[in-house]
């Protein structure tokens, strides 16, 4: 028997799944096609080495809008976002370790570059300012390109 769908979404990453969720909620029959064995894109954590769970794009999930989480009832469907305690960036013969402690981060950056450590404070302020500027645009409906 042939199944019919209103919408076929190619790609079961987080964007495809969110789109499918909204379309299904609107009453559309949706199918999502994904070539990988796992769905979720940036929202996926995988065991890449025995005992070590890792997500290359986990920070992107922090950009998941609260209204999407609420409207699609994602926690009810298993979404759990864990706080990020820190990150480690492997470098040639060393690493850069960042944690939720501003002073420790500055000391860690200073190990690599004193000027970058001094600029870190200003960098944080600029990033917060940019985020405040961009945030309103994230929930705007884009203009109709056909008009």
Tens of pLDDT, residues 58-70: 656 667 788 899 9
56: confidence class by pLDDT, cuts 50, 70, 90: low
Tens of pLDDT, residues 73-103: 999 988 887 777 888 888 888 888 888 898 9
| Mean per-residue pLDDT, 106-118 | 92
The answer to whether 109 and 95 have CB atoms below 8 angstroms apart is: no
Q: Which has more pLDDT, 107 or 89?
A: 107
At 23, list the tokens.
Answer: 């379309």
CA end-to-end distance (rounded Å), the chain = 41
Residue 34: the pLDDT is: 95
Task: Name the percent of the chain lying above pLDDT 90.
Answer: 42
108: confidence class by pLDDT, cuts 50, 70, 90: very high
Q: Which has more pLDDT, 98 or 33?
A: 33
For residue 129, the SS3 value is helix
For residue 44, the SS3 value is coil
The answer to whether 42 and 36 have CB atoms below 8 angstroms apart is: no
The mean of the pLDDT values for the chain is: 87
6: confidence class by pLDDT, cuts 50, 70, 90: very high
The answer to whether 25 and 47 have CB atoms below 8 angstroms apart is: no
CB-based burial label for 98 (10 Å; 0-12, 13-18, 19+): middle
Alpha carbons 9 and 106: distance in angstroms, whole number:
44
- pTM of the full structure: 0.67
């Amino acid at each position: 028997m042939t199944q019919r769908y209103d919408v076929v979404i190619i790609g079961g990453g987080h964007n495809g799944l969110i789109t499918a969720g909204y379309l299904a909620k609107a009453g559309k029959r949706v199918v999502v096609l994904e070539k990988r064995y796992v769905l979720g894109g940036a929202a996926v954590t995988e065991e890449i080495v025995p005992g070590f769970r890792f997500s290359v794009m986990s920070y992107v999930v922090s950009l998941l809008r609260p209204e999407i989480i609420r409207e699609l009832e994602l926690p009810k469907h298993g979404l759990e976002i864990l706080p990020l305690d820190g990150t480690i960036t492997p470098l040639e013969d060393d690493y850069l370790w960042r944690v939720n402690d501003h002073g420790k981060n500055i000391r860690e950056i200073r190990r690599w570059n004193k000027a970058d450590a001094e600029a870190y404070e200003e960098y944080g302020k600029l990033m917060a300012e940019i985020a405040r500027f961009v945030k309103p645009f994230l929930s705007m409906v884009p203009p109709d390109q056909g008009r």
